[in-house]
Amino acid sequence: MISIDPITLAVSSFAMMASASPFVYYSLKLKKISSLNLATFEEFSKTHKVVPNQEERWRNHYHLGLDSQYKKLIYHRFGTYPEQSIIDLNEVNKVSIQEKMRHVQVGKEKRYILDFLALQFHFKDRSHSPKTIEIYDGELFTSLAGEKGIAEKWQRILENNLKD
């Protein structure tokens, strides 16, 4: 049988707790932010009498919800410059994807870097300027985490709802 010195056990336990505590703290902090964001989104939905049956959240920074019955889209962007929007799809003619890219050349290698990705809503009433909702901002995040797929998916979903 292995005998463990109580002092060694205490030091080892302290070292394990010290190395794990930042991860536990960060995890609890993210859960708190996520639940606060969700509560804000749900409160905004209830206030405007919209019940989303399709939702998507990403990066603890964005939240989209679609009420297919009343054809309303709810959008939330959290963070430093928060935004809350409701878009009535009955007034929308077309949904497109807006991208802003820049060209970078290092030596012989050429790369395109996506700086901004959004869904743009073009309204039936031409006097109403297009509405843009941000999906990705290159100044906030260093790389894409599936936002291009999210934008394409939501464009298809919204275009299908415009046809109904």
Q: Per-residue pLDDT tens for 94-120?
A: 999 999 988 888 888 888 888 899 999
pTM value?
0.78
pLDDT score of 3 more than 80:
no
Q: Assess contact for 23 and 29: CB atoms under 8 A.
A: no
Q: Per-residue pLDDT tens for 18-75?
A: 898 888 888 888 788 778 878 888 888 889 898 999 999 988 889 999 998 889 999 9
How sure is the predictor about 164, in pLDDT bands with cuts at 50, 70 and 90? low
Q: How many residues does the chain have?
A: 164
Q: What is the C-alpha to C-alpha distance for residues 102 and 62, in angstroms, rounded to an integer? A: 23
How sure is the predictor about 78, in pLDDT bands with cuts at 50, 70 and 90? confident
CB neighbourhood size of 92 (10 A): 21
- Angle made by CA atoms 131, 133, 135, in degrees to the nearest 5: 155
- Angle made by CA atoms 31, 34, 120, in degrees to the nearest 5: 155
Q: What does DSSP assign to residue 154?
A: H
Adjacency order of strands within the sheet including 131-137: 92-106, 109-123, 131-137
pLDDT score of 124 more than 80:
yes
- Please, what sign has the CA dihedral across residues 128, 133, 134, 135? negative
